[in-house]
Structures are given as structure tokens and as C-alpha cells.
Amino acid sequence: MAFTIAIDGPAAAGKGTLSRAVADHFGYAHLDTGLLYRAVGKRMLDGVEPIEAARALMAGDLSDDGLRSPEVAQAASKVAVIPEVRAALLDFQRAFARRDGGAVLDGRDIGTVICPEAEAKIFVTASAEVRARRRFEELLGNGTETDFDTVLAETRERDERDATRADAPLRPAADAVILDTSALDVGAAVAAAIAAVDALRQGMSAG
């Protein structure tokens, strides 16, 4: 049986941690769709034309360690405004969403464009300052040299580009549950997301 959980939200809102925990809890497969755009962004930085890179993308490209860097994040956000890049990545994401046994996909447009029929939609957000602080600490932790103001500026720049692009801009689906994690620790955010999905599942079986 297919059951899709769509988890969308801005950069560094905690979607990744949350999505993995929710997928583990329900025993569903998980796809971090940002990795698709990051892999295309990285190929662009290597000199490959982004539309061609998107069309040639393979599953193995997603496990590249280099995809987590701030440079690749900015490149991902830039290739993500190109409609042909988005179109090339659509079928893979849709097939993943409707696979048997349940799936959690996290990204920007899962509940609005990739899988509007998803049974559960969660829009995870937090203030730009809180998100930049988390990302800053993560970068410090893995030894990347940076300062908070740079990370905050990059977070805002990416928000602006992701939310104002013409094709599939970042926005909550009309029927998404909004989860603001500004004042929640990881455990509380995970519990709230699981509770939201459980409530939707119960609503389905009751209706």
C-alpha cells in the first residue's frame, strides 16, 4: 500500500532529521529530494550544463560526500529555478512517493507539486536566525570555517530564491500541517510530526 508523507520547508528548518526519524518510526523509505538538486548543482560547478546533468542523474550520484557544502547548496538553489531541471527530476520523485510500503519525501514542493495527493503533508519552518544558528553550529562541528553573519545572509539569500522562483516556489500546501520548530528541540519536533501523521491516519480510517 502507498502512503506518502510530504515534508517541506525552508533551508535548515530541520527537515532532514525530522524526515529520517518519521520514516524510521513508520518503517517507510525516505528520500531527501534536496540531494537531487545538490547533485545537479555540483555537476554545474564541475562545468556540466545543468539540464543535461539533471537528465543524466543516477542514484549513485546522491551519495557523494561533497553535496553538503555551502557552495553546493547555493548552486543547488540556482539550478532549482530552471524548469527543465525540475521536470527531469519529477518522474523519479513521483515513483518514489507512490512506492509500496510508504515513503517520506522532504523538499520544497513535495506537497504542492510532486505529490499533491500525499496522505500527510507537513510544512516545517523556523525563524531565519534559528535556522542560521543551527546551520552555523553544524558547519563549525564539521570543521568548516565560517561566521554567523555569513551563514545568516546565505540562509536569507536561499530563502528568497526558493520562495520567489516562478516554477514550484517554496510555500505550504493548503492542507499542510505547519510545524514551527523555532522553540522545539529535536525530540519535541519529531514527536509533533509523528502525532500529526497519526492524526491524519486515524482521520482516514475513520472517514
Asked whether position 33 contacts ligand DC by CB under 6 A, the answer is yes
- The closest alpha carbon to 34, from 82, 103, 89, 99, belongs to 89
* CA dihedral for 101, 33, 47, 83, sign (positive or negative): positive
26, 37, 96, 123: residue in contact with ligand DC (rule CB under 6 A): 37
DSSP state of 185: -
Stretch of residues binding ligand DC (CB under 6 A), selected from 50-58, 102-110, 125-133, 172-180: 102-110
- The closest alpha carbon to 42, from 88, 11, 77, 13, belongs to 77
Asked whether position 154 contacts ligand DC by CB under 6 A, the answer is no
Q: Shortest distance, CB of residue 33 to ligand DC, whole angstroms?
A: 4
31, 39, 73, 196: residue in contact with ligand DC (rule CB under 6 A): 73
42, 54, 103, 162: residue in contact with ligand DC (rule CB under 6 A): 162
> Do the Cβ atoms of 124 and 9 come closer than 8 Å?
yes
Count of residues that bind ligand DC according to CB under 6 A: 14
Q: Which is nearer to ligand DC, 35 or 190 (CB)?
A: 35
C-alpha 205/C-alpha 146 separation (Å) is 49
Stretch of residues binding ligand DC (CB under 6 A), selected from 33-41, 47-55, 136-144, 197-205: 33-41
Sequence letter at residue 50: P
C-alpha 120/C-alpha 49 separation (Å) is 35
Asked whether position 38 contacts ligand DC by CB under 6 A, the answer is yes
